[in-house]
Amino acid sequence: MSGGCQATGIGVSRGIAIGRAYRLQRKCFEISERLIEPDQVEQEVARFYHAITSAREKLRTILDKIPEGTRTDVAAFIDTHLLMLDDDPLSETPVEMIHHLHYAAEWALKLQRDALVQVFDEMEDPYLRTRKDDVDHVVNLIQQFLQNSEEEEEALESLRGRIILAKDLTPADTILFRHQGIAGFITEYGGPMSHTAILARSLGIPAVVGLHEAAECLRNGQMLILDGDSGTVIGNADEETLARYGKRISDGEARQQRLRKLIGKPATTRDGLRLRLMANIELTEDIANTRALGADGIGLYRTEFLYMNRAEAPREEEHFQAYRRAVQELAGIPITIRTLDLGADKQLEENPTREAAASNPALGLRAIRLCLKQPQLFIPQLRAILRAAVLGPVQIMLPMISNLDEVRQIKAMISQVERDLEREGVAFARGVPLGGMIEIPAAALAAPAFCRELDFLSIGTNDLVQYTLAIDRVDDEVSYLFNPLHPAVLRLIQMTIEAGRLSNTPVAMCGEMAGDPRYIPLLLGMGLREFSMQPNSLLEAKEILRRCDSVELSRAMERIRERIARGEAPDPLPQIHHSTI
């Protein structure tokens, strides 16, 4: 593109921003080993606790700056960091090092940070692996106070309309900068599943991450164009380019107003086919926004938050209270609860079968495999789900299934749980629909068999693409190879949808692909009838589907299937997209 220097990263929050760059300079802490004298221990412990308290006060100040009416899940990101400050791994383990090893507070905290990050690095689940960022963010905040180097906040007006350039941003940074009216941000590191990226999407801040050339290509005060859709950043653009992107901004604002008018209208194609638009959520606090946007239900309710940042597994009652609240707030709208999707690399201290982390967690003990091997983690969750299902329509979804024996074992466990609850006189729902996620190639190839054993299937494209192409989508060194349109991926998706059609088994999709405007017409043409996505994508997906003609797309798919069978990418996809919406 002409009109200036250009660099490309990963677009994690859609939208266009035009503004002058503000380079955020952060002090880099060089922590070296330092010991203290025995008579300094109590003073050092007091200094560490004071830093913890100061960090907590700063985060609470940021919470107070969140405007009224902002989605509750925005505050949840700061709440997560506040909880981490109270957790023993960060608040007490360094104190033990100070007491017993006479380490200085900074060194003890650094060693504990390294140990925690190693645990997260060994996790297979990409979303959970990025939680190491939260550890770094909280540790760096404590280190600032330990070294008396807390940075002064910028004046409110000084950042208004600016595009932030930084190595990385914390969720707290993101909220503060949004409060100060920034136009967007660019970071050298990070990925699409980090809390900062998720928060940027929630707050509607255009953002590009993983732009390694940012330090070399972009300068402080330089006029920038940030395209969060494509991940492109342009510096020193000419007037024609600025005008073109300026029009895209005004068109985008008008589009958002138009999309709001779709709330309450059905997701029906031009030829009258009724579709289901569901939401993926992680926290109960997401439900209010999901209902306000008119979702048909919750297609994926992640439950890992109940297990994170704690030493012991959640008890049955804790599970039940979380699910009860979700079902009651949905008031009759269906919810699909995904069971525990953690790996053996995320161990709980009370786990009696604690083992060393697998050398290759991607192929190790995780998700449904972990639940079958350690039923003490799984049974309380199953009991709580069956109890909550009395209050409204609930489905159970099993992650990472690979063979029928796993499904049959789970069904036997559910039957035993039903007998136990009945014997105990506890109210529960019988016959709760049981489904499985199709997220590894073996499951897609065995989809016809799974359809005979399960009530529904849901395609998890994030992992399906990753496992099929042997690509770590969180690793920005190879993330450019992550391609949902790879013929092998499309064949697996088509096989799963076709298996569901032939057996009259509902098939949904709950991966990122389901909410991506580039792929929605293709998926509709392939026969997908239930799309589950991040809440903020619901209205745009509905608009696209309402402009599609499913009959025309089905005809066009015949040509695409031939290309896929030959191992070729579906080049006609753009023509389908533009000619039918």
Q: Residue 71, annotated ligand binder?
A: no
Catalytic residue among 137, 195, 319, 577: 195
Write out the residue limits of the CATH 3.20.20.60 domain(s) in the chain: 267-580
Write out the residue limits of the CATH 3.50.30.10 domain(s) in the chain: 5-26+158-258
Q: Walk along the chain (581 residues) and give the pLDDT tens digit of each residue.
A: 445 678 888 898 888 999 999 988 766 667 888 899 999 999 999 999 999 999 888 888 877 766 554 544 556 667 777 777 877 778 888 999 999 999 999 999 989 888 887 776 666 555 556 567 778 778 888 888 888 765 544 444 578 899 999 888 877 788 778 878 899 999 988 877 677 887 788 778 999 998 886 766 788 889 999 999 889 999 988 899 999 999 998 998 888 889 999 999 999 999 999 999 999 987 777 788 889 999 999 999 988 878 765 667 889 999 999 999 999 999 999 999 999 887 543 444 444 334 444 445 556 677 888 888 889 989 999 999 999 999 999 999 999 999 999 999 999 999 999 999 999 999 999 999 999 999 999 999 999 999 999 999 999 998 899 899 987 765 666 666 778 889 999 999 999 999 999 999 999 999 889 998 989 999 999 999 999 998 888 999 999 999 999 999 988 888 888 777 777 777 544 444 433 33
CA-to-CA distance for 368 and 339, rounded, in angstroms?
Answer: 8
Q: Within 10 A of 413 (CB to CB), how many other CB atoms are there?
A: 16
Residue 2's pLDDT is 44
> Superfamily assignment of 267-580 in CATH?
Phosphoenolpyruvate-binding domains (3.20.20.60)
Cβ(564)–Cβ(494) under 8 Å? yes
Q: Residue 274, annotated ligand binder?
A: no
Tokens of 333: 């709208």
Q: Categorise residue 534: left if φ over 0, alpha if ψ from -120 to 50, beta otherwise.
A: beta
What residues are paired with 165 via a beta bridge? 23, 186
Catalytic residue among 371, 451, 510, 548: 510
Q: Within 10 A of 277 (CB to CB), how many other CB atoms are there?
A: 24
578 is a catalytic site residue: no
Decide: residue 297, CB within 10 A, 0-12 exposed, 13-18 middle, 19+ buried: buried
CATH 3.90.700.10 fits 38-146, yes or no: no
CA-to-CA distance for 464 and 458, rounded, in angstroms?
Answer: 11
**The CATH classification of domain 5-26+158-258, taken from the options 3.40.50.300, 3.90.870.40, 2.30.30.90, 3.50.30.10:** 3.50.30.10
Write out the residue limits of the CATH 1.10.274.10 domain(s) in the chain: 38-146
Q: Residue 473, annotated ligand binder?
A: yes
What end-to-end distance do the CA atoms of the chain give, in Å?
27
| pTM, full prediction | 0.69
Which residues have CB under 8 Å from 211's CB, separation 6+?
Answer: 7, 8, 9, 10, 186, 187, 188, 231, 233
CA-to-CA distance for 204 and 141, rounded, in angstroms?
Answer: 25
195 is a catalytic site residue: yes
CA-to-CA distance for 343 and 373, rounded, in angstroms?
Answer: 12
Which residues have CB under 8 Å from 187's CB, separation 6+?
Answer: 165, 166, 167, 168, 169, 196, 207, 208, 209, 210, 211, 214
Q: Residue 302, annotated ligand binder?
A: yes
